[in-house]
């Protein structure tokens, strides 16, 4: 049987409207003990993800654990991308065991869940394995997660991938939502986020546009 290629995106790729992003426990107390990624990169990557989701109108849940009594507020880089959005504070380490979060997941009603947060081996593994068990498709933004050691983070990623979760990175998330530079409505937003939070790639975009007036389209 012959196979015919068509110029269409694969079903495995994310779109802005087909998933719920859950950003979990990006809080100071959790960040203090995170050593698999340095705090500057962690905050930058979390900001990239948050701004990408906000810019593309992705359904997003922001959740904290023991915010007032122990862990502190969520990173301002995230909350500033979603002004006025309510934080769902929990006592459970596993976000998927919190009734308020699950009510919101069900209200949004999307079968794809994208996760990022602290720590990978506890607060990301818990909802990832739980959501997979209930038939959801799960993606984990690996460089917008962190744990107490590289070993802890890597083994957690291994465990989730073996269970069926799909790993990706923060910049990959942004560019997968854009996916075509001819999408002019979101072009300036996407390149703006890349310039601000996209590391070396963002510097390259800034240089090309400033020096040569370059345009990806």
DSSP assignment string, the chain: ------S---TTS--TTSEEEEEE--BHHHHHT--SS-HHHHHHHHHHHHHHHHHHT-EEEEEEESIIIII-PBPHHHHTTSTTPPPEEES-SSGGG-HHHHHHHHHHT-SEEEEEEE-IIIIIHHHHHHHHHTT-EEEEEEEEEE-SSHHHHHHHHHHHHHHT-EEE-HHHHHHHHH--TT-HHHHHHHHHHHHHH-HHHHHHHHHHHHHH-----
Domain of 80? Answer: 19-179
Considering the domain architecture, whether residues 127 and 191 belong to the same structural domain is answered as no
Considering the domain architecture, whether residues 97 and 123 belong to the same structural domain is answered as yes
Q: What pLDDT is recorded for position 1?
A: 79
Active site residue 123: yes
User: What pTM does this model have?
Assistant: 0.93
Classify residue 211: in a domain, yes or no. yes
DSSP assignment string, 53-78: HHHHT-EEEEEEESIIIII-PBPHHH
Classify residue 66: in a domain, yes or no. yes
Backbone angles phi, psi at 179, to 5 degrees: 60, -20
Considering the domain architecture, whether residues 94 and 32 belong to the same structural domain is answered as yes
Q: What pLDDT is recorded for position 217?
A: 61
Express each pLDDT in 126-157 by its tens digit. 999 999 999 999 999 999 999 999 999 999 99
Considering the domain architecture, whether residues 57 and 139 belong to the same structural domain is answered as yes
Considering the domain architecture, whether residues 87 and 185 belong to the same structural domain is answered as no
Considering the domain architecture, whether residues 174 and 185 belong to the same structural domain is answered as no
Rounded-to-integer distance, Cα 150 and Cα 148, Å: 7
21, 101, 122, 123: the active-site residue: 123
Q: What pLDDT is recorded for position 216?
A: 64
Considering the domain architecture, whether residues 105 and 164 belong to the same structural domain is answered as yes
Q: What pLDDT is recorded for position 71?
A: 80
Considering the domain architecture, whether residues 143 and 187 belong to the same structural domain is answered as no
Classify residue 77: in a domain, yes or no. yes
Q: What pLDDT is recorded for position 214?
A: 64
Say how many domains are in the chain: 2
- Listed as ranges, residues in the chain with pLDDT below 50 are none
Classify residue 196: in a domain, yes or no. yes
Classify residue 10: in a domain, yes or no. no
């Amino acid at each position: 049987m012959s196979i015919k290629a068509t110029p269409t995106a694969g079903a495995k790729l994310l779109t802005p409207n087909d998933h719920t992003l859950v950003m979990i426990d990006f809080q100071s107390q959790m960040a203090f003990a995170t050593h698999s990624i340095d705090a500057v990169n962690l905050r930058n990557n979390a900001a990239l993800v948050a701004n990408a989701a906000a810019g593309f109108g992705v359904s997003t849940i922001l959740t904290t654990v023991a915010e007032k009594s122990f862990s502190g507020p969520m990173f301002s880089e995230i909350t500033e991308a979603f002004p006025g959005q309510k934080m769902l504070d929990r006592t459970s380490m596993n976000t998927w065991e919190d009734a308020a979060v699950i009510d919101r997941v069900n209200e949004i009603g999307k079968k794809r869940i994208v996760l990022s947060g602290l720590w990978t081996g506890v607060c990301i593994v818990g909802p990832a394995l739980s959501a997979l068990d209930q038939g959801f498709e799960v993606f984990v933004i690996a460089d917008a997660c962190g744990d107490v050691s590289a070993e802890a983070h890597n083994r957690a990623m291994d465990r989730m991938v073996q269970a069926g979760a799909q790993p990706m990175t923060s910049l990959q998330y942004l560019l997968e939502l854009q996916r075509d530079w001819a999408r002019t409505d979101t072009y300036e937003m996407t390149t703006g986020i890349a310039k601000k939070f996209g590391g070396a790639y963002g510097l390259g975009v800034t240089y090309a546009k400033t020096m040569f007036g370059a345009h990806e389209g």
